[in-house]
Amino acid sequence: MNAPREFLDFGPDAVLLAGLNGDNWRLADYVKRGGYEALAKILSAKVPPAAVVAEVKKSALRGRGGAGFPTGLKWSFMPQQYAGDKYVVCNSDEGEPGTFKDRDILRYNPHSLIEGMAIAAYAMGCARGYNYIHGEIWDVYERCEEAVAEAYAAGFLGKDILGSGFDFQLHNHHGFGAYICGEETALLESLEGKKGQPRFKPPFPASYGLYGRPTTINNTETFASVPWIVRHGGEWFLNLGRPNNGGTKIFSVSGDVERPGNYEVRLGTPFARLLEMAGGVRGGRRLKAVIPGGSSAPVLPAAIMMATDMDYDSIAKAGSMLGSGAVIVMDETRCMVKSLCRLSYFYYEESCGQCTPCREGTGWLWRMVDRIENGEGRQEDLDLLNSVSDNIMGRTICALGDAAAMPVKSFVKHFRDEFQHHIDHKRCVVAPYL
């Protein structure tokens, strides 16, 4: 169950993951680290819910699930005066290839999520919440069940929390292991017991969410950051990072590095420093490319990445997305055609099939990249890859279509010569190194 110790080296600036050793996840350990102080503080002082939302706004916390939407602003969309049920939902589906941070929060610090969700529920006037956990990770689900039971027993969840009159019931829900169930409205459908397919928007979940009621959905890491904001103040959190990019962020570094793992650093840390923390490129090889924010983020060549800082705005300026913070490192031995082929197959396989451009287009993209990879590519395929991608983007109910198209466009843009070599010579440009 517990990872090797060396894996639990989260970096000197860790906040969310600080002091975790694999064995200190229980409520008593969390309380020793100052856990539940933030919840107790707002409940005992009867801090107005709007003041909590204002503090989260001040912190410049941006959603850690992919889009980087400002969390405080999202919370302010919840109708305060609504008299019926309202919900907070945690997105612990974590299906984006390369991303493996939320499961570590849930494994090693589950109470930080529980406290964050309770604070969010208080701020938005919700009495019930759900934590939707990816269906393929049983150990994490079981741990969350134990942690939630501990929190109920200690009076941090349930009725009249800490004698304040505030009620909050939290339930873990074990999902179905489909990538599409991470899309927030597909997640809600799945939570309601239906097929996990995205809904048309608008209406957005803040007005029509779970069971048609106002709902706020945030990522695991987003909620887990909230106790820190309430304990130390929005400004403190903001100053950990950069303006408009508050706090620390957990980056799941994988691929061709010496020490793959989760590293928590301040937003704005240079990519070169993050790479160094992960032991550098494996075997001392040269860096070729990096996908900086999970498989759906555009790939960037080494030279651009080495000059870029790890925050939402810097990565966007460099031409990609911080996304979920999954940093996939590729060294000089990687074939970009083969890498894209693998990614494209994933999106083809995971498209829910609801929208024609995505259902048909993802298969088309994969088959084209596959034939280029296998020496059967045609010259016109390169432009066709771009045009099929353009015809998917922005034409689907959810962003899975965009997620499938963006890698294709960026791989062809930055590494066109490799695709051309495959077409001209019917073999790979890097094969001799492998």
Ligand X SMILES: Cc1cc2nc3c(=O)[nH]c(=O)nc-3n(C[C@H](O)[C@H](O)[C@H](O)COP(=O)(O)O)c2cc1C
Q: Which residue, 185 or 314, is less far from ligand X as judged by CB?
A: 185
CA dist 285 and 83 (Å) reads 60
Shortest distance (Å) from residue 60 CB to ligand X:
13
Instruction: Using CB under 6 A, list all residues that contact ligand X.
Output: 63-67, 69, 91, 93-96, 179-180, 182-184, 217-219, 222, 398-400, 403
Helices (H), 180-301: 184-191, 220-232, 234-240, 271-277
- Name the token pair of 2: 């517990």
Shortest distance (Å) from residue 188 CB to ligand X:
10
Q: Which residue, 265 or 406, is less far from ligand X as judged by CB?
A: 406
Bridge pairing between strands 261-266 and 287-291? unpaired
- Name the token pair of 182: 């991470």
Judge residue 84's burial from the number of C-beta atoms within 10 Å of its C-beta, 0-12 exposed, 13-18 middle, 19 or more buried.
exposed
Q: Please, what is the Cα angle at 233 between 100 and 90, to 5 degrees?
A: 35
Q: Which residue, 172 or 288, is less far from ligand X as judged by CB?
A: 172
β partners of residue 290:
300, 329
Shortest distance (Å) from residue 350 CB to ligand X:
8
Shortest distance (Å) from residue 62 CB to ligand X:
8
Shortest distance (Å) from residue 71 CB to ligand X:
6
Shortest distance (Å) from residue 16 CB to ligand X:
14
Does an H or E element contain 288, and which? Answer: strand 287-291
Q: Identify the sign of the CA torsion 144, 145, 147, 151.
A: positive
Nearest to 154 by CA among 104, 105, 122, 118: 118
CA dist 425 and 353 (Å) reads 35
Q: Which residue, 322 or 337, is less far from ligand X as judged by CB?
A: 322
Shortest distance (Å) from residue 327 CB to ligand X:
16
Write the single-letter amino acid at 213. R
CA distances from 270 to 132, 265, 293, 306 (A): 33, 10, 14, 8
Shortest distance (Å) from residue 61 CB to ligand X:
9
Shortest distance (Å) from residue 218 CB to ligand X:
4
Q: Which residue, 255 or 325, is less far from ligand X as judged by CB?
A: 325
Angle of helix 220-232 relative to helix 110-124, nearest 10 degrees? 70
Q: Which residue, 54 or 154, is less far from ligand X as judged by CB?
A: 54
Q: State the number of CA atoms in the 13 A half-sphere of 106 facing the CB.
A: 27
Q: Which residue, 94 or 189, is less far from ligand X as judged by CB?
A: 94
Q: Which residue, 120 or 428, is less far from ligand X as judged by CB?
A: 120
Q: Which residue, 183 or 373, is less far from ligand X as judged by CB?
A: 183
